[in-house]
Structure 1
Amino acid sequence: MYNESKQIRVAFLCNAASWGGLEMNIARLAQWLAENGHQVVFLCPPQTAVSDFMATHLMPNLYLYPSKSRLKYFDLLTASQIGRILARHQVDSLVIGHSKDIQLGITVQTFFYNKLKLGYLQQMQVGIAKKDWLHRWMYSKLAFWVAPLPSVASVTLARTTVRPEQIRLIPLCADLAKFKDVRRKRAAARAQLGLPPDATLLTIVGRYDAGKGQIFLVEALAQLKQRGIEAEILLVGEETKGEEGTYLPMLKQRIQDLQLLAQVHFRPFMQSIELAYAASDIFVMASLEETFGMVTIEAMASALPVVGSRAGGTVDLLEEEQAGLFFEPQNSQSLGESLLKLLQNRMLCGEKSQKASVLS
């Protein structure tokens, strides 16, 4: 997909209302390619967090909006509009950021711009087998499938009909310079975020969603508290658009039931996310099946030891626990035990912190 010596003409499709890691990653990739002299077209619905970001970071003539439709399959109106945009810019490839939009890309290719190459930028693990006739047909239309890590590619090959020759192993891009040495600003970051100056802070950055596992960290904190270990939690994120009022109220009720209201701090997503890492002591990746985990990379670059679930791409990123410790997915007791090892052993915590910074 990318040849450094040749200018490419590429479009990105991100049909999402939310602003989380997935949307941030595809927006950053488009921004990086545009800044490096490539012709980039970005397609997304208007009046969303994604459109606001791209309006700020891309030239106006490269930032175009398709109409928004509720049709799940064969949305010819939107596809025709996208096809005209791609033809006008003579785009070679369309990179799709959400699997649900692969069918829209196929409709564009089939009816309106048949020389288009379709690709999927995988950021979510394939959770269940998808080998039925519909998925087999959809995946056959893709010229490339970008997986960020070998373990993610292996799961994709096992659970889908994607062929090995379609797979491209390309880690997600990230500018990590701003995360270096942020922990020297710990006191200032805590003051700016209104956090206790001396507490040991365990942090998760991610949307409030059952798959992100915030509730397991809350339960692990309750177990640590029973054992006389003092620590607090920082949760940075927001609810998924269209799913408000589902997971977050349950999470807050669990915090109240465990009498941890004073020990759990909620903060919204922030542009200066390095402040959250600067304020933290240990980063927790509690997701059930994270693919690449950009926040894990950012935490490691911030020299934070990571306690991560033994699942998905986190296994690759921590490199056999060199940058942190594993715990069993969806197991608060296992998470608590791993946290306890770091909290009670300052030397071990320092070693993991140093290695995390090097490996990032």
Structure 2
Amino acid sequence: MVFFRNRKLAIVCFSTAFGGLELSTLRLAQELSARDATTVLVVPPETPLALEAVRRGLKVAFLKPRMKYGDLFASWELARILSAHAVEIAIVMQSKDINVVVAAKLANPSVKIVYYQQMQSTIDKRDAIHTWMYSKLSLWISLTNRMKMEVLEHTRVPEHMVKVVPLGRDTALF
């Protein structure tokens, strides 16, 4: 991911679970940090993801939104975190967190937002709110061509904004 080299990044994941998404979030933070990106992981405190990130020595900022949508306090706090770390690119790991990051961008207009889609979705999101939120993204990364086609079918995101980047296999396992 040469695009992220020598950049100041925030990886945002407000999940309180600890499964595939969260493990992928940790792996991405470690990989980008190892490739000369200054990376801060923004996660809720006292979650398995937060505890594991600290255990691995990753730079972590803690934030827990209190509402699913429209949490202006969380957006304001995220804006402060992004400013404090001079973040250039915010990578959002789950779609339900996009609204908080987009609202934080209002206070930090130069921050680019990348959504890293890891789950398929066939839910129609062509309404005005989703269209506005997605218009604030700089890039939408999907894992497969099928996922990309579903994004194009169920949202108003322009095709040139959606890129397919398959997850690679960790060869260190063999």
TM over 0.5: yes
- The answer to whether structure 1 residue 172 and structure 2 residue 167 are counterparts is yes
| Secondary structure at 1:118 match in 2 | strand
- Three-state SS of the structure 1 residue aligned to 2:17 is coil
Greater C-alpha radius of gyration = 1
Q: What is the Cα deviation at residue 3 of structure 1?
A: 2.1
Q: Deviations over 1:249-306 (max 9, x none)?
A: xxxxxxxxxxxxxxxxxxxxxxxxxxxxxxxxxxxxxxxxxxxxxxxxxxxxxxxxxx
Q: Secondary structure at the match of 2:141?
A: strand
Alignment map for 1:225-240 (pairs within 5 Å): none
Equivalent of 2:96 in 93, 97, 100:
100
How far the C-alpha of 1:46 sits from its partner, in A, is 0.7
Match of 2:115, SS state, is: strand
Partners of 2:120 and 2:4 lie apart in 1 by 32
Residue in 1 that maps onto 2:24: 25
Q: 3-state DSSP class of the match of 1:19? A: coil
Whichever residue aligns with residue 61 of structure 2, its letter is L
Amino acid at match of 2:26: A
Indicate whether 1:65 and 2:62 are aligned: yes
Given that 1:117 and 1:143 are in contact with CA atoms closer than 8 Å, whether structure 2 keeps it comes out as yes
Q: Which has the higher contact order (CA 8 A, sep 6+)?
A: 2
Letter in 2 for 1:14: C
The 1:132–1:5 alpha-carbon spacing in structure 2 relative to 1, beyond 3 Å, is: closer
Q: Equivalent pairs: percent with the same residue?
A: 31
Give me the TM-score of the superposition, normalised by structure 1.
Answer: 0.46
Taking the aligned partners of 2:6 and 2:162, their CA distance within structure 1 comes to: 22
1-structure distance, mates of 2:135, 2:10? 20
Task: Give the aligned CA root-mean-square deviation in angstroms.
Answer: 1.7
TM-score (norm. length: structure 2):
0.92
SS in 1 for 2:108: coil
Amino acid aligned to 1:73: Y
Within 5 A, what are the aligned runs for 1:166-245?
Answer: 166-178=161-173, 180=174
C-alpha separation in 2, matches of 1:38 and 1:149? 25
Contact 1:31/1:58 (8 A) holds in 2:
no
Match of 2:108 in 1: 113
Supply the AA of the counterpart residue of 2:96: K
- The corresponding residue for 2:73 is 77
Distance 1:6 1:128, change over 3 A: closer
SS in 1 for 2:124: coil
Residue-by-residue CA offset, 1:102-122 (whole Å, 9 max, x unaligned): 100111011x21211111110
Please list every run of 5 or more consecutive structure 1 residues that lacks an aligned counterpart in the other structure: 181-360
SS of equivalent to 2:21: helix
Query: Gapped runs of 5+ residues in structure 2?
Result: none
The SS at the match of 2:29 is helix
Q: CA deviation at 1:127?
A: 2.0
Q: Secondary structure in 1 aligned to 2:2? A: coil
CA separation of 1:138 and 1:5: change in aligned 2, threshold 3 A:
closer
Q: Distance in 2 between matches of 1:36 and 1:82?
A: 24
Question: What does residue 155 of structure 1 align with?
Answer: 150
Inter-CA distance 78–140: structure 2 relative to 1 (3 Å threshold): same
State the distance in 1 between where 2:163 and 2:48 align.
Answer: 29
CA contact (8 A) 1:28 1:173 kept: no
Shift of the 92–138 alpha-carbon distance from structure 1 to 2, 3 Å rule, reads same
Distance 2:123 2:4 in 1: 39
How many Å apart are 1:5 and its aligned residue? 8.9
Instruction: Look up the SS of the partner of 2:11 in the other structure.
Output: strand
- Deviation at 1:165? 1.2
Confirm or deny: 8 A CA contact 1:29 1:173 kept in the other structure.
no
